Amino acid sequence: MSMALVAADADEDLQVAARRGQLADVKKLLEAGAPLEGKNQYGATALYLAVFNGHTEVALLLLEKGANPNVTDTFYKSSILDSALQKQRAEIVKALIGKGVAVSSRQLNMVVGGGGIPTLHAALTAFFKPEDLTAALKAAIDAKKAEAAAILRKAGAAEPKLVAVAAEALAGYAGEYVSAAIPLPIRVVAEAGVLKAQAEGQPQFTLSTDSATEFSYAMAGVKMVFDGKGGFTMHQGGQQFPFVKKGSAGAPVIRKVPETVLAGYAGIYVTDQMPMEISVSGQEGQIRIHPTGQAQVTLRSDSDTEFSFGPGNLRVVFDSKGGFTLHQGGQQIPFVKKGSAGAPVARRVPETVLAGYAGTYASSQMPLEITVSGQEGNLHIQATGQPKLPLRSESDTEFGFAPANVRVVFSGTEGFTLHQGGQEFEFKKKAGGK
């Protein structure tokens, strides 16, 4: 689970007060000479933390005092403006622009796709090239965002040129594509005059036609450029991934693992670090993993014992003892096959206890709700907009999730303390949240 982390040093009071939205304390600390640009271990300043946690008054005060509006943290690689746009804090967005912060075409498209109308109005106080406004209008039209489209037209966006590509040409692009860069097949289909794309295990999305060979999905910053030779290059996040049609002459040769080896790996694996199972299976010389509650992922074979998935920065290394180590985010988590001699025995929590904890919780320290539920003796939490996480039971009141360094400690059935990154966040059950 991803949450904002602040520096753990006790003397960094301004960052703590800004994160919590404590306006009076921030004013006192500034009057006492607290440095505006002090950073935590992730490069986040007081202004960054105030914006990330949605505290408008604190953010505006810090900007007024001269705080740097162009900070990007090292944990999320996200800017202050990104946070303001994502949190839909229109007043902060406008203030940042007033301090000279530029809004990129990508950020404008993000607002069109998921932001509110006030945020769009605020974003449009920035300067945009005519082609950026037109691209945003095209994205609004594609996403059927009529109100956003009307606002963009009023802001001066020219009507995008509608590009019609012959049905035969679109049909020629249809097919399944593979890449040596990532083990993630992408299926392209032609339907009703447009192209649609779907990566394995992910939702299908409709591509906007930019030219006879270029197609895009502005909301995710994806562009696919077909080369006329049976392939395309996917551009996203500053990276380029070449794809070719599966089975074509130029298709990459996927390293295959012997079926006997795959059969030996197949099974369900568990760890004592979290109550999450990972199902491992093999098919046509490739290995797939399926963590509890998540999408199945096909791994690239680097050897008969080492497998990886580049987009998730994930590596799985099998040992000779019937287990594997999952490497991700700088952590190493050992898994063993369920039912084997070394398999951990999960601690179960009584159903009556889980039922008491169930509900939706909120905190004054961050604009984030957490839903708590119980199933088969295990506790699960799900933060707003994030996947559900199974927590390991350390006792009937204490639970943990090692990969994210999260610990949850209940104090009765009406509240809990979330411990993460050396910080503590108090959550209380919402009225009627059970």
Closest to 358 measured CA to CA, from 340, 334, 374: 374
Give me the pLDDT at residue 142, please.
77
Other Cβ atoms less than 10 A from the Cβ of 120: the count is 24
Contacts 24+ apart (CB under 8 A), 141-149: 142/206, 142/208, 142/218, 143/112, 143/113, 143/219, 145/112, 145/113, 147/117, 148/112, 148/117, 148/120
The structural domains of the chain, ordered by start, are 13-154 (1.25.40.20), 167-245 (2.40.128.50), 259-337 (2.40.128), 351-429 (2.40.128.50)
Q: Give tens-digit pLDDT for 269-325.
A: 988 776 678 999 998 788 999 887 677 888 888 899 999 887 667 899 999 888 999
What does the DSSP 8-state code read for residue 212? S
Q: 106: which 2 tokens?
A: 């990508």
Give me the pLDDT at residue 11, please.
36
Q: 307: which 2 tokens?
A: 């497998």
Which segments of the chain have a pLDDT < 50? 1-11
> pTM for this structure?
0.54
The continuous run of DSSP H or E covering 31 comes out as: helix 23-31
Name the burial class of residue 11, with classes exposed (0-12), middle (13-18) and buried (19+) by CB atoms within 10 angstroms of its CB: exposed
Name the burial class of residue 107, with classes exposed (0-12), middle (13-18) and buried (19+) by CB atoms within 10 angstroms of its CB: buried
Q: 227: which 2 tokens?
A: 């080369």
Q: Give tens-digit pLDDT for 313-368.
A: 789 999 988 899 998 767 788 999 988 877 766 678 999 999 999 999 998 877 67
